Structure 1
Amino acid sequence: MQFNYGPIVTVMARSLTVLMLLVLTGCQPAETASSPDKAPYPVVTEALHTQPDYPISHRFVGRLYSSTTSQVGFELAGVVDAISVDTGELVKQGQELARLDDALLRSEAEQLTANLAQIEAQQSLVDTTLQRQRTLESQGYQSQQQIDELLSQQNELAALAQQLQASLSANTIRRQKSKLTAPFDGIVSQRQLAPGQVVSPGQPVLTLVPDAQGEARIGVPVRLLSRLEGQPQFTIEVQGQPQQATLVGRSAEVNPVTRTVELRFALPPMDNLVNGDLVYLQVEERVAQPAAKVPVSALTSGLRGRWNLMVAAPADGGYVLERRDVTILHSDDQYAFVSGAIADNEQVVVMGLQSLVSGQAVTPGAKE
């Protein structure tokens, strides 16, 4: 008996085809028309405002100096006998700070005093002799020549006495200058020598710094000097605290290393000023280039080093997201100034960018 398998094969093939179609149909996404439309996603936006320029805040560092810082030393050469103060001590004007060994000066003073006493004794003798000779002259027993010699001797002794008196005064001055005194009230910031050392005239022994008045010296680039002209007061940060300062002068040349001009600012009297401490000055520079200010949170990284903003653009009575390429001109921790494919009054998304895509329908709203 011979069976005909043709109709059976045909039925099986048709069944297999239908099964494959059902499987493929189940893998297809549901049509949009068959599902209800999703509601626009709410986003926080801000309106863009382009300005003709944008600011850049510069922070320059300088050092604190005292306007009357002085390196005090002796006018004379000698051996340091004693130093009465040390680093960090507070001194008053006129207080003795150090002294030189003045043994030679005291010996010289004693010698000059003895010589002066000798001259005075000789003067007394000449005066007595001259008086006696004048009495004899009136009686006709003495010649004029002897009297003239006594007068000359008297003048010579007077000149010698005057010379010795001047030398004694000079000795007294040198002894006074052998004592180093404070020229003003202040703090000893440095001690350069110790007792027993030989010093030359003008060699620094101690460095004195006033304990209240300070001066800030800060280098600023030449291109920013015009920003400081005519400004009466400046805010300078000293020890973490803002202080009002006045510009009192500037150097006449550019520092060859930092390429800046040193400015001098007078600070108000302050406690606990430390000579050489760091101070800071902020200067704002305006860059003449149109830019829009946006929060840093509104920026996302794009292709080829570009940055993007998400803008809620009007479309069919609603809003959809559009990605715009921008260039960051300047930024800080909170805001950035950008330029690019943006326009005034466009609504830029400033929060929640990680859950958004271009072309998504959104509802813009202000930040609460």
Structure 2
Amino acid sequence: MSWVLGVDSGGSGLRIALGFTGARSATTTATAASPDPAGIPAADVTTVAVTASDEPVRTGPAGLDTAHLLAQLLPAARTLLARAGGGPLSAVAIGAAGMATLGDGLRAELPAALERALGVSRLALAADAVTAYAGALGQRPGAVVAAGTGMIALGTDLTGWHRADGWGHLLGDSGGGAWIGRAGLEAALRAYDGRHGGSPALLSRMEAVFGAPSGLPASLYPRADRPAVLASFAPEVAACADGDPVAEGILATAARHIAEAAAAACPPDGDAQVALTGGLFKLGEPLLAPLRTELSRLLPRVRTVTAAGDPLTGSLFVAAALSTKSLRLPLDPRLLHVPTHRDG
């Protein structure tokens, strides 16, 4: 039996799961993807405990802040291991939003830091879209749309990765939670100004959530967690969609953006699947109904399936696969980086 740790770092905070590979326990939650059509075995991992912090890892001039990540991760990992009575960790997998574009510092500093602090030498550093993929589809070909505060689609034929969007709330993440929330707030402010395209219903919700419109820029622009604040308004847009054509139109446009990203990332050949994962889809039918229509239009021969697990599940899956030397997902310097490690 080997202990493994999975980490999911996103715009809403940090989640950490401890698990073990090997014999299943009837009293714990088992998580394992089925073998793919080529017969590649799945990593068998049992989840023992999960903990979370609602403080997102900071981003500085050098990218994701390694010290801030370690300050949250190390005490939590030691506590989880102590409570479980576990021994040394066999492998750690960290999936982080921004890893692909802002993770140079993590890739340079974390391997040595985690080996010193936790004695672990098997480490995978992944974009959160990769851990979302692993949690949703395991090691099959296909594509996953990971949508929460942001939005990215990632696909693979198991020889390489193809990503679409995931460019952050200023340059992309079209259709994600921050995008929907921003569009809803813009429609509210249009109504406040008396401009075309405004929504009185969204204005009413904005005032209830954020207060007077005149104070919104000052309370929003200086915040480091702007994407999460914008995304917090997405449920208000969904709540107004039944009966408000502006809100309904925002969600229809979001669905089109999401489906276009899925189509761009999906492998063109083979028995591919598309899975949806992430908190955004908890908005329910106001978003899912137009999304099903768009996916059917753009990917008529591809099956849309329910995600088997979430990005934290995927992080634990990757750690287990690394521990058991069964990792078959394509390595990539930015999307799925496995530093050289010492065996034994």
**TM-score tier after normalising by the smaller chain length:** under 0.3
Larger Rg: 1
What TM-score results when the alignment is normalised by the length of structure 1? Answer: 0.18
